[in-house]
Amino acid sequence: MKSAKRVPIPARGVDYRGKIVLAPMVRSGELSSRLLALHYGADLVWGPETVDRSMIGTTRKVNEHLSTIDFTRLPSHGSKDPRQDQKESLIYRLHPEKEGKRLIFQIGTSDPERAVQAARIVAADVAGIDVNAGCPKPFSTSGGMGAALLQTPDKLCSILEALVKEISTEFEIGISVKIRLLETAELTEVLVRRLCATGITGLTVHCRTTPMRPRERAIRGQLKMIANICRESGVACLMNGDVETRAQAEQLITEFGVDGAMIATAAETNSSCFRSEANGGVAPWKEVVEHYIKTALEVENRFGNTKYLLNHLIPGKQAVYREVTTSRSYHQVCQMLGFEHLEAQAKEIDKKLGITSETQDQGRRGKKNKSAMAAGGNQAKIRSVQAEEKKSRSERGIQNQPIAAVDI
C-alpha cells in the first residue's frame, strides 16, 4: 500500500498529526492558560491572535526573573515628553522552556509584507506560525483579517505563500492556517485545494460558517472531504468545533479521518479536558483553579486576565463564584478560595503588579454604584474585567472586542 504524501516538516517545526491542541482564543490563550493546558496534556497550544501591526516595532527581551521572553513596546498614546519615563506595554509573553517547542503563534493580518515582518520578530521562539482566517468578529474582519480573508482567497494565498517562502525557509518552522466553512461544500473544496497548494504544513477547519455562533452546533458533514484533500496534498488537517474532551477528540479523529483536533470552549471551562481517561480524565474544578492560580502567580499574569479565566473555571453555581467576581487582587482570591498556602506569594505578586490596598478600596467604592448593583452579577463582572483588559486589547491591536472569549 502506498504511503500517504506528507509535506516535509521543517527542522524546528511540529507535525500536527495525532495532536489534540488548545485553540487560539482571545483572553483565554495567554501564557498562564497555555501552561495550564500543557500541564493537563495538551499536545500543542495556540496563542491568541496577535495583529501584525501590534507586533511590528516591539522589542524582544529576555525576562530572567520569570524565565520568559517578552515582546514589549512603548504605548503609541503615551507622553511625548522625553523627561517622563514611559512604561512599556507587554504585547506577548512566552515561556521558551515550558512551551516554546509546542507553541504556535497565530497572526492576524491582511497583508503579505506585514505578515512576514511581524512573523519574523517571533519566529525564532515558536514552533509554528498560523494565519487567522476564521475569526468572524468585527475587530478582525473590519481590517480585512480573520474570516474576511475567506472572501479574498487570492490575498489569503499570497499571505501564506509569503510566509512559507520567507519565514518557513529562514526559521525552519511550519506555516498553517485556520479557516471556517464556506457557504457550500463546493466553495469550501475549491478554497481548501488552493490553500493546500501554498506550501503550508497544517490546516485547521472550524466546523461552522462565518455567520454561525458558538451556541449553534458544529457542522461536520464536510470534514471527510476536507481531510481527504489535505491528505492528498500531504497537509495535516485538524478539526475544531464542539470538541469537549480528549476521549471525544480521539473518537472524532477516527470517525472523520482528520489528523487531529482542537479544543476551545471546553478548555476555557476546565483545562483538564486534555487529560486522558487513563490519567484521570476531567479533574474537579477546584483542583484546576488552584493549579491555574499557581501558574498565574509564577508568570505574573495580569490580574484582570486571571480573574476573567477564574470566572470561567469556577462553576457559576458555586457560592464562591460571585465572591471572586468582586475580587480586586490575587490575595483576595486566595482568601476567598481558601488557598492559605498561596497567600504570601499572592501578596508579593500584587505588590509587583501595583495592586495596593488603595486601588482595592477604589474598586470597592466603585462597586457601590447603585446602577451597577442593579445590573446583577454578570454585568458587574463584565464591567470589571472590561476595564482591566481594555488597555491590553488595544495594545495587541484588538479593538471593540466583545467581552466573551473569542475562538479564533
**Catalytic annotation, residues:** 135
3-state secondary structure 315-337: CCCCHHHHHHHCCCCHHHHHHHH
| Distance from C-alpha of 44 to C-alpha of 22, rounded to nearest angstrom | 6
Give the 3-state secondary structure of residue 98. Answer: coil
Half-sphere exposure at residue 401, Cβ-oriented, CA atoms within 13 angstroms: 26
Indicate the DSSP class of residue 341. Answer: G
- For 230, other C-beta atoms within 10 Å of its C-beta total 25
Describe the crossing of helices 285-298 and 343-352 by its angle, rounded to 10 degrees. 40
- Cβ-count burial of 361 within 10 angstroms (0-12 exposed, 13-18 middle, 19+ buried)? exposed
CA atoms within 13 A on the CB side of 184: 3
- Strand ranges, E, within 100-235: 103-108, 128-133, 174-181, 202-209
Q: How far, in Å, CA of 197 to CA of 217, rounded?
A: 30
Q: Which of 136, 143, 141 is CA-nearest to residue 180?
A: 136
